[in-house]
């Protein structure tokens, strides 16, 4: 089920809100949230629910065991628990990839191992990381192991963030799972954030998606104009698609009395790759920082170890996104520039004009998206040849020209300033504070209402369009 679908907007969400706010008491509301979350997840297949249920029960038990251990054996218990979670993730997501690459190494010997590609449970990367963060926080004594299975189930299965994040740490949300309240102001603010996220997905990401598909999926060797148009469109698509989902999840959580972490902060306005990763998928980058980079030693053991730690983290970050060499290269691509920025180049970057630093950052990010979006290494290399003009400058293909409607062009023109600088606020600083607030509230309410109407009309007329991060 997709947030931007008729099923969710017209049926599931109204039914959930009615039952949730009709329930009295946090425990009953947790039960409503759990039931609807399981229905939401089961929409993608009942087998998904079985995997999720095993993860919930297993990690509930693991946490109890870790919490009961003395200091000398806690780390060992944590290691076994984390290994079990990673074994499930590796088995479903990477088994076939590893087998294929092993067969390449074994082919000179005439040997081969079976290649199995199990069906990937929806959102397994996200709920596995949620579970690991819970176990590590119990090990570090930041929280006690929760003795109520239903509360752990609510934490892992909350449908707003279940399949595509943001990654919510148990230690930051534990209090509100069993003690929270909702107010009209929170509900209003949450629904506003939800509508903004919905408009990002429906009115921007879905509008530029056909341009991306025409370049990446229908053009074998794009020329200069096609390649740059395609990668600029994809940069907008992935930001407003994933950023839109994150806003919808954050908004729904706020309406329920929960608080999810912010996941994006104008990433295309960054002035370095380090700055970009402080703004892009912030819950994932902070997860890797706290649970991988710092335990490896961070930047405390010299420049060489810092570089190795950064490359390790971004190699894992690339693999986390998918079992493909393209994702591995994408991770190494970003890790390499982060290492470069730890040298004198980083100091120089801080001294150059902002426009130069911004241009450098966008160039690195855009070329990185080629690896992320291309289906194979040969396609990525052909795309890079197009970006360099080696496939010719030429005219746009028929497929691409047919997708460049006036609305699409307008969205692309508006999208970039929005991604870099955010929404403008109304002026009037000379006006009294009360008048200025009323003016801002009126503009905000009007824009939100118009966006919601446009989204409803678009969703009713459009075809099914899954979120890009659902496959992770």
Residue where the block lists tokens 């730890």: 342
Point out the domain boundary residue: 419, 443, 464. Answer: 419
How far apart, in whole angstroms, are the C-alpha atoms of residue 387 and residue 222? 8
The reported pLDDT for the residue numbered 223 is 92
Inside any domain, residue 449 = no
* Residues ≥6 apart with Cβ < 8 Å to 323: 93, 94, 96, 97
**Domain enclosing residue 17, as ranges:** 13-180
The verdict on 312 and 250 lying in the same domain is: yes
Point out the domain boundary residue: 117, 147, 180. Answer: 180
Inside any domain, residue 195 = yes
The verdict on 366 and 408 lying in the same domain is: yes
User: How confident is the model over 327-336, as pLDDT tens digits?
Assistant: 999 999 999 9
The reported pLDDT for the residue numbered 446 is 84
The verdict on 318 and 337 lying in the same domain is: yes
The verdict on 211 and 143 lying in the same domain is: no
The verdict on 231 and 344 lying in the same domain is: yes
Inside any domain, residue 465 = no
Inside any domain, residue 453 = no
Inside any domain, residue 287 = yes
The verdict on 146 and 97 lying in the same domain is: yes
How far apart, in whole angstroms, are the C-alpha atoms of residue 92 and residue 124? 9
Task: Name the stretches of the chain with pLDDT < 50.
Answer: none
The verdict on 124 and 69 lying in the same domain is: yes
The verdict on 170 and 218 lying in the same domain is: no
Inside any domain, residue 469 = no
User: Which residue in 281, 321, 334, 358 is the catalytic one?
Assistant: 321
User: How confident is the model over 105-148, as pLDDT tens digits?
Assistant: 888 888 888 888 888 888 888 999 999 999 999 999 999 999 99
**CA dist list (Å): 411 to 56, 113, 237, 415, 459:** 42, 49, 11, 6, 17
DSSP letters spanning 339-374: HHTTSHHHHHHHHS-HHHHHHHHHHHHHHHHHHHH-
8 A C-beta contact, residue 124 and residue 44: no
Residue where the block lists tokens 């006006």: 431
Angle between helices 184-199 and 433-461 (to 10 degrees): 50
* Cα-Cα end-to-end distance for the chain: 15
The verdict on 45 and 108 lying in the same domain is: yes
How far apart, in whole angstroms, are the C-alpha atoms of residue 363 and residue 374? 17
How far apart, in whole angstroms, are the C-alpha atoms of residue 349 and residue 344? 9
The reported pLDDT for the residue numbered 341 is 94
The reported pLDDT for the residue numbered 121 is 86
321: annotated active-site residue: yes
The reported pLDDT for the residue numbered 471 is 66
Point out the domain boundary residue: 396, 419, 442. Answer: 419
Inside any domain, residue 148 = yes
The verdict on 154 and 54 lying in the same domain is: yes
CB atoms within 10 A of CB 28: 13
Number of domains in the chain: 2
Inside any domain, residue 439 = no
The verdict on 263 and 406 lying in the same domain is: yes
The verdict on 253 and 166 lying in the same domain is: no
pTM, 2 dp = 0.91
The reported pLDDT for the residue numbered 425 is 62
The reported pLDDT for the residue numbered 463 is 60
């Amino acid at each position: 089920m997709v947030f931007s679908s008729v099923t969710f907007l017209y049926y599931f969400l109204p039914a959930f809100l009615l039952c949730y706010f009709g329930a009295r008491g946090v425990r009953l509301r947790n039960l409503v949230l759990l039931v609807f979350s399981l229905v939401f997840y089961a929409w993608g297949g009942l087998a998904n629910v079985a995997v999720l249920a095993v993860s919930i029960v297993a990690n509930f038990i693991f946490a109890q065991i870790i919490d009961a251990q003395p200091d000398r054996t806690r780390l060992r218990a944590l290691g076994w628990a984390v290994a079990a979670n990673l074994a499930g993730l590796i088995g479903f997501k990477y088994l076939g990839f590893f087998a294929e690459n092993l067969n390449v190494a074994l082919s000179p010997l005439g040997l081969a191992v079976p290649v199995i590609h199990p069906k990937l449970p929806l959102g397994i990367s996200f709920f596995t990381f949620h579970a690991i963060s819970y176990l590590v926080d119990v090990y570090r004594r930041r929280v006690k192991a929760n003795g109520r299975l239903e509360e752990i189930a609510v934490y892992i299965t909350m449908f707003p963030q279940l399949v595509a994040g943001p990654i919510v740490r148990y230690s930051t949300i534990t209090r509100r799972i069993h003690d929270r309240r909702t107010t009209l102001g929170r509900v209003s603010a949450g629904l506003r954030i939800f509508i903004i996220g919905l408009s990002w997905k429906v009115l921007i990401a879905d509008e530029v998606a056909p341009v991306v598909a025409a370049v990446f999926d229908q053009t074998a060797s794009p020329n200069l104009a096609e390649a740059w148009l395609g990668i600029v469109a994809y940069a907008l698509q992935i930001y407003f698609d994933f950023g839109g989902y994150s806003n919808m999840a954050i908004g729904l959580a706020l309406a329920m009395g929960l608080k999810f972490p912010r996941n994006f902060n104008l990433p295309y306005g960054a002035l370095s790759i380090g700055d970009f990763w402080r703004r892009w998928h912030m819950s994932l980058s902070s997860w890797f920082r706290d649970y991988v980079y710092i335990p490896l030693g961070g930047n405390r053991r010299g420049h060489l170890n810092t570089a190795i730690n950064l490359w390790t983290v971004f190699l894992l970050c690339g693999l986390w996104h998918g079992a493909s060499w393209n994702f591995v290269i994408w991770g190494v691509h970003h890790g390499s520039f982060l290492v470069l920025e730890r040298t004198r180049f980083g100091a120089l970057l801080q001294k150059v004009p902002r426009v130069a630093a911004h241009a450098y950052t966008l160039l690195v990010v855009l070329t990185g998206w080629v690896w992320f979006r291309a289906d194979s290494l040969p396609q990525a290399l052909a795309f890079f040849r197009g970006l360099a003009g080696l496939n010719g400058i030429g005219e746009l293909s028929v497929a691409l020209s047919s997708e460049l409607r006036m609305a699409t062009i307008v969205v692309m023109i508006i999208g970039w300033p929005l991604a870099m600088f955010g929404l403008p606020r109304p002026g009037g600083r000379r006006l009294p504070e009360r008048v200025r607030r009323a003016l801002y509230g009126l503009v905000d309410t009007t824009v939100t209402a118009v966006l919601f109407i446009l989204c409803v009309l678009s969703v009713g007329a459009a075809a099914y369009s899954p979120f890009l991060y659902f496959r992770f």
